Structure 1
Amino acid sequence: MKSTQNLLSVMLVFAFGLFFGVTLIFHLKDISFSLRFTQFSLSTTPSATSTAAPAGVDLVAPPLPVDLGLKGFLKPPELMHHMTDEELIWRASMVPKVRDYPFERTPKVAFLFLTRGPVVLAPLWERFFKGYDGLFTIYVHSSDSSAKVTVPKDSVFYGRRIPSKDVEWGKVNMVEAERRLLANALLDFSNQRFVLLSEACIPLFNFSTVYSYLVNSKHNFVESYDLEGAVGRGRYSKKMAPIVKIKEWRKGSQWFEMDRDLAIEVIADKMYFSVFHDFCNGKCYADEHYIPTFVTKKFGETNSNRTLTFVDWAKGGPHPTKYTRNDVTKDFLMKLRNDKSCEYNGKKNQTCHLFARKFTSHALDRLLRIAPKLMQFNL
C-alpha cells in the first residue's frame, strides 16, 4: 500500500513538472515571436531614406542621390568659391559642341566692375537696373582684395564680389583681373554679353536701350588701332616676336564689350597672354595692348574696333579727365549721349557710347537728380 502511494506521488510530481515545462516553453516562444515581430516592424517602417525590402532580403537604403539633372549642371557656383585662377579658367573655358540649347534661355548681360574699392556710384546704377531682374548679372572685382566693403542686403551689388587679388595700375595683373571677371561670368550659361566697367563709370541710356544694343549686336566692341610714337609702337618689345610682331601691335581702351564666344577665347588664350605677361611690363601697360592686339590678330573680322565707353583724353597725360559735381549738367550729359556718328551692324548710327567715365563720388548727387529723368530710367 505504501509503495503504491509513493508511485502516485512520483507520477503527480512528474505530471506537474511536465505541465509546467510545456507551459513555460510556449510562453517563451510567444515572447520571442513578439520581440522579433516588433523588430521586423521597426526595420520595415517607411521613412524618407529607406524603402521596404522584398521578403527574405535585407537591404540597406542608399543615400539620397546628388542632383545630376540639367538644372543642377546649369546652376553657377557661389561667387566666393575656392577655385584657383587655373581651375577657374579651365572650368569656364568649357564649350559644348552642341550649339542648340536644350532649355529655354533668356540672354543676360554681365556687368563686370573692376574697382579699387566700393562702387561709389552704386545708387545711380541701382536706378538703372531697377525692374530688369533676370536680364543682367553683376560681378565686382576689387583691386584692394583686403578692403572691407559693406553693401546693403537690398542692393543689386550685395554678394556680387568675386574672389579678388591685388591689382596695380599699369601692371599685367590688371589684365589678369579682367580675365578673372570674364571667367567668373562665363560660369553662368545665360550670360551672353560682357561689358567691363569701373567704379567711375555711368550709363548714358536706360537699361532697355543698353540691353537691346548689346544682345542684338553682330560685333564686339574692343577699341584697337595702330599708333606710332612712344605710347604706341614705342611700348613694343622685340622679345615678343615671332608670336607678336611690331606690325601686329595694337593699342586701345581697356573698357571692352564682347560676346560669349570671344570671352571664352580671351580667358583660354595662353600663347599670346604669356608673351605679354613676360615682356609687357614697366611702361608697357598691358591693359591697353593685350586684348586689342589679341582680338585684332585672331578675331578682327568680328570686332568693331571701337569702345562703348566715352573717355576724355583731350588734356593729355596718363589719366583721363575727371568729372565732378559742377561738370554734371543736362547739356553735358546730352552731349555725351550724342557724341559722334558711328556704325552699328553695318549701318550708320548716332548712338556710339553707352557708358562714360571718369566721374567722382562728388558728382553723384547731381547725377541722381538729372540722369534718371533724362535717360528715362524706371522711376
Structure 2
Amino acid sequence: MQMQGGGAAPAAVSVNGKDSFGNPARAAPSRSLPLKLLKPFLLIAVLATGVLAAGLLLPGASSYGLPRLTVPDVLAASRQTPCAEKGDGALERWTRPPASAWHNMTDEELLWVASMQPRVRRYPYRRLPKVAFMFLTRGPLPLAPLWERFFNGSGPVLFSVYVHSTPGYRPDFPPTSVFYRRQVPSQVARWGETNMFDAERRLLANALLDSGNERFVLVSETCVPLHGFPAVYRYLTQSRHSFVGSFYDPGPHGRGRYRAGLAPEVSPEQWRKGAQWFELERSLAVFVVGDDRYYPKFRELCRPPCYVDEHYLPTVLSIEAAGRIANRSVTWVDWSRGGAHPATFGEADVGEAFLTKVAAQQTCLYNGQPSEVCFLFARKFAPSALQPLLALAPTLLGY
C-alpha cells in the first residue's frame, strides 16, 4: 500500500507550481536536479517512507508467537486485512480460509488433512490469531440473535464459526449472518454415545482447515457469552493454557468407569474426569484429531456408563500435556439440582442478579495469577431466555 502511494509521488513534484518532473523541458535548469540524479533520490524517499510506515503499523510485532492485544487493539485489528490476504500470490491461496464450511471429504480424509501442521513455527506473513467457535447442536440455534450481537463489529479476521447439527437439518440464515454457510458435514451424535465425541473431533478438524484459527472453543445451542467479544478474544489468545477440566474422582462415576483394556496406555491412576465443554489451542487440537494411540481404545471400550466426552480429553491431555491445560473449563453450568443433566434456565430465571452471580461465580488462576474472571460462557439457557438476555446484555454483559 505504501509503495503504491509512494510510486505516484513523481507526477506530483513541482517547482514554482509546475510539474517539472512530468515536463523537464519547462523546469529552470538552475533550480532543479538533473533527471538522472533525481530518480535515485525519489527511490530512496519512497523506500524510507515504506519502512517508516511498516514500523508504525506493526509496533508490537514479534518474530513468532501470539500477539498480545488490548481490547482497543482487537477492534482496530479487525478492521485491517492481514498481509496474507492481499494479492493473488501462492501464499495467499494457501492461507485463505474456505468460503464455506461445507465440503465433500469423508471423515477419514478430513482428519488426515486437519492433522497436518507446519514444522516451521515462524509465520512468513503477518497473522492475527482467530478464535473458532464450534457449535454442537441438534438443529436450530434459538439464541442466534444474541450471538450475532456478540460478534457484531468484531470483524471476520478475528473469529470463525462452525455448526455441527443433526444430519439433514437445513438452517435458514441470511447472507449477512455469521452462521451463513457455516454448517459442516455432520453425522448422528447422541448423548452418552461415543459418536458424541466423534462429532467434537469433526468440528475441530473442520476448524483446523483454516490456518488462521488458533483457539478452538466448543459451545452448544444453549450457551451464551458472559462477556463482550474483545474481552473473550483477549482472554483466550493471551492465555498460556488450554481450558480443559481434569480431576481425579475415586467414586463410581469416576474411577469406577475405568476399563482395564485401556492399559498400558492409560493406567487406573491416570484416569481423569472433566466437563465436555473445552477450549484448545491449535497444537493440542491437531493432536486430538490425529490421535491414533488413545482414541481408538476409548472409542471401543468407553461405553455407557463410561462416557468418552467426559473422560477422553481430561485423561489423555493430563498424560500428554499436563502443564498446558488449566484443569478448568471456561463454560459455567449448574449441577446443584442433581441428575444426569445440568439445570436449564428460562425466562423466569434470567435477571440482573442471576447474571451477576454467574459471571462472578468463583476465583481461579489465569496465567498463574489469581483472577475473578473464570467463566466466559454459561449454559443451559432455554429459548424463552432470549428476550431477557437481549435486554440485559448491553449493560451487564458488554455487548
TM-score (norm 2): 0.76
What is the CA distance between 1:373 and its match in structure 2? Answer: 2.2
Moved over 4 A (4+): none
Amino acid across the alignment from 2:322: G
Counterpart of 1:139 in structure 2 is 162
What is the CA distance between 1:148 and its match in structure 2? Answer: 2.6
User: Is residue 247 from structure 1 mapped to residue 269 from structure 2 by the alignment?
Assistant: yes
What is the CA distance between 1:74 and its match in structure 2? Answer: 1.5
Pairwise mapping of residues 1-379 of structure 1 onto structure 2 (< 5 A)? 69-77=90-98, 78-133=100-155, 134-142=157-165, 144-377=166-399
State how far apart, in whole Å, the 2-side matches of 1:291 and 1:376 are. Answer: 31
Deviations 1:93-124 (A, max 9, x none): 11111111111111110001000112110000
What is the CA distance between 1:328 and its match in structure 2? Answer: 0.3
Amino acid across the alignment from 2:115: S
User: The residue matched to 1:80 in structure 2 has which SS?
Assistant: coil
User: The residue matched to 2:380 in structure 1 has which SS?
Assistant: coil
State how far apart, in whole Å, the 2-side matches of 1:215 and 1:102 are. Answer: 20
Given that 1:221 and 1:306 are in contact with CA atoms closer than 8 Å, whether structure 2 keeps it comes out as yes
User: The residue matched to 1:294 in structure 2 has which SS?
Assistant: helix
What is the CA distance between 1:88 and its match in structure 2? Answer: 0.8
TM-score (norm 1): 0.80
Amino acid across the alignment from 1:97: R
Among all aligned residue pairs of Structure 1 and Structure 2, give the percentage whose two residues are the same amino acid: 51
Count the aligned residue pairs: 310
Amino acid across the alignment from 1:140: V
Deviations 1:228-262 (A, max 9, x none): 22211111111211121111111000100111011
Counterpart of 2:49 in structure 1 is none
Given that 1:201 and 1:357 are in contact with CA atoms closer than 8 Å, whether structure 2 keeps it comes out as yes
RMSD, aligned CA: 1.1
Amino acid across the alignment from 1:137: S
Alpha-carbon distance change, 68 to 135 in structure 1, aligned in 2, over 3 angstroms:
closer
What is the CA distance between 1:68 and its match in structure 2? Answer: 7.3
Given that 1:127 and 1:372 are in contact with CA atoms closer than 8 Å, whether structure 2 keeps it comes out as no
What is the CA distance between 1:153 and its match in structure 2? Answer: 2.3
Structure 1: gaps (5+ residues): 1-66
Amino acid across the alignment from 1:141: H
Higher CA-based Rg: 1
